[in-house]
Amino acid sequence: MKIHNKYIAGSWVLFALLFYFPRMVFAIEKPPVQITPPLSPGVSGGSLVQVTLGLLLVLAMIVGIAWLLRRYGRLQSAASGSLKIIGGLSIGPRERVVLLQVGDTQLLVGVAPGRVQTLHVLDEPLIMPETSPSSSISGGISGNDVRSFAERLSMAIKQRKAT
């Protein structure tokens, strides 16, 4: 019962403060304030909304352009027809093995941060099936292409070790 009485007493004190506090504030006399016209027009709500929407539009454009560059950035230009990336395989967090076609020669290249090294020059070029235009446009490599490249790479390495 005592706990219940404490809550009731506390609620009466809170009610009294909330009821009488506004009266105490208004009872204080304030010196008269002279109203002067503003020197500058200030910022209106409409202009604030306009600036905010403009900023969001610019940020959306930056994100959209970054997404497009990431998605289509791997397209090969028509000018570099003699150099093609046939396939690639990630062998670590920052290391890759890439198979390049330079003219009639195929090179196996290791790529690491700050370093590119020729691992092997293939005597017989690997015959790669033609990919559909949609896969080259998307810039991605399908799972079958990666698997077949990995198989061909392991066969080429085994042949090199055998000779």
**Contacts with 11 (C-beta within 8 Å, 6 or more apart), sequence order:** none
106: burial class by Cβ within 10 Å (0-12, 13-18, 19+)? buried
For 16-30, 43-57, 146-160, which range has the lowest pLDDT when averaged over its residues?
A: 16-30
Distance CA 101, CA 82 (A): 8
Asked whether residue 95 carries a pLDDT value surpassing 80, the answer given is: yes
* Residue 125 contacts residue 108 (beta carbons within 8 Å): no
Residue 43 or residue 66, greater confidence: 66
Contacts of 105 (CB under 8 A, 6+ apart): 121, 122, 125
Measured CA distances, 148 to 82, 87, 136, 153 (Å):
23, 10, 16, 8
Residue 96, judged by CB atoms within 10 A of its CB (0-12, 13-18, 19+), counts as middle
How confident is the model at residue 155, as a pLDDT?
86
State mean pLDDT over 70-78.
Answer: 64
For residue 114, is it left (φ>0), alpha (ψ between -120 and 50) or beta?
A: left
Residue 87 above 70 pLDDT? yes
